[in-house]
Amino acid sequence: MAEMPVPHPGPNQVLIRISAAGVNRHDCNQRSAGVHHDGNPVPGLEVSGVVAALGEGVTEFATGDAVMALVQGGGYAEFALADAALVMVVPDALDPVAAAGVPEALFTAWWNFFAMMRLQREEFALIHGGTSGVGHIALQAMSSLGYRVLATAGSARKVKAAEGFGAFAAFNYNHSDLVGKVLRATGGAGIGALLDMSAGAHMAADLEMMAPDGRIAHLSGGGGAALNVPLKTLMAKRLSITGSLLRPLALERKTAVAAMIRRDVLPILGTKVRPSVAAQFNLEDAAAAHREMEKGSHIGKILLRVADR
């Protein structure tokens, strides 16, 4: 823990007094890379709390509003700055602490599935890692909106949890007949849009289960791992493989995603979509929270709670 000055909001910024911060794999990677990695030396990409101050030009919020936000780092703190366009009021039906586990998941899912892969209603989607922080929120939100989203997980316990989060079908990604199970579940149609958090660990199966013109988006770079993709399969099905990093995405693109989330998910947040909190740690115990994240056994979100002051 270290003392730092409370930041002042600039134009179109909101200063948030933090109640909780979501813990994400990116935070662990930032810690491993060192304090000067990736801009803001303080980890934390999503927070919930109350508005403490408003920058010039911000009129949609008031001091004291309960909010959640995607932030450009700095979430592991008592105060953080957020671009007003990426701040949302916490619905009454949603626990204000649990709200810290929402922004990163929704921005990641909506950017990848709808902005990048342009998922269509008639297609099937699949998430590798359906009980992860991103996966379990995406399953709830997308299934509630009528999308057919399959999921994979690494244990029977997690497969059952993914089904509970709304998966159209869920399977263990280690199963020898994963492709057959997915194709049977989709009536032979295959997957139109696949979100992969495994750094391509299931690429051979992915290519087989994809529908013609299917799209695969990667969230993990696997520490610089290279993808070995058979071009003949890629060409025969006209598949597209892409990936992205959310943090360096331009603000105007994040703003467009925020508008989609407000339109699609905010009305059902807290009722049909709720973060499942696997564990909570005090802010000063962030190292223990990272150890829990790196074990990979949790279901849902891990949160850091800022002590009441």
Please, which pLDDT band fits residue 1 given cuts at 50, 70 and 90? confident
Domain check: are 170 and 143 in the same one?
Answer: yes
Q: Which pair of tokens denotes residue 269? A: 């947040």
Domain check: are 181 and 159 in the same one?
Answer: yes
Largest Cα–Cα separation, the chain:
61
Q: Provide the residue range defining the domain that includes 293.
A: 13-102+275-305
Q: Of the spans 24-33, 41-50, 107-116, 228-237, which averages the highest pLDDT? A: 107-116
Domain check: are 76 and 201 in the same one?
Answer: no
282 pLDDT more than 70: yes
Digit-coded pLDDT (tens) for 50-68: 999 999 999 999 999 999 9
Please give the average per-residue pLDDT across 295-308, as a whole number: 88
One DSSP character per residue, 55-123 reads: -TT--S--TT-EEEEE-SS--SSSEEEEEGGGEEEPPTTS-TTGGGGSHHHHHHHHIIIIIIS---TTS
124-128 vs 148-153, strand pairing mode: parallel
- The domain tally of the chain equals 2
Residues 139 and 165: beta-carbon distance below 8 Å: yes
Domain check: are 127 and 187 in the same one?
Answer: yes
pLDDT at residue number 309? 45
| 62 within some domain | yes
Cα-based angle 271, 276, 282 (whole degrees, multiple of 5): 120
Digit-coded pLDDT (tens) for 287-296: 898 889 888 8
What CATH number did the domain enclosing 291 receive? 3.90.180.10
Domain check: are 291 and 230 in the same one?
Answer: no
pLDDT at residue number 223? 62
What CATH number did the domain enclosing 161 receive? 3.40.50.720
Digit-coded pLDDT (tens) for 77-132: 999 999 999 999 999 999 999 999 999 999 999 999 999 999 999 999 999 999 99
36 pLDDT more than 60: no
Task: List helix spans (H) across the chain.
Answer: 25-33, 103-110, 133-144, 156-164, 178-185, 203-209, 231-237, 251-264, 286-295
Domain check: are 123 and 56 in the same one?
Answer: no
CA distance 48 to 67: 6
Domain check: are 110 and 193 in the same one?
Answer: yes
Full-model pTM: 0.94
Domain check: are 27 and 88 in the same one?
Answer: yes
Domain check: are 110 and 55 in the same one?
Answer: no
Domain check: are 42 and 114 in the same one?
Answer: no
Residue 62 burial by CB count (10 A; 0-12/13-18/19+): exposed, middle or buried? exposed
CA distance 3 to 77: 10
Lowest mean pLDDT among 28-37, 107-116, 185-194, 265-274: 28-37
pLDDT at residue number 283? 93
Digit-coded pLDDT (tens) for 139-184: 999 999 999 999 999 999 999 999 999 999 999 999 999 999 999 9
Domain check: are 234 and 118 in the same one?
Answer: yes
| 259 within some domain | no
| 230 within some domain | yes
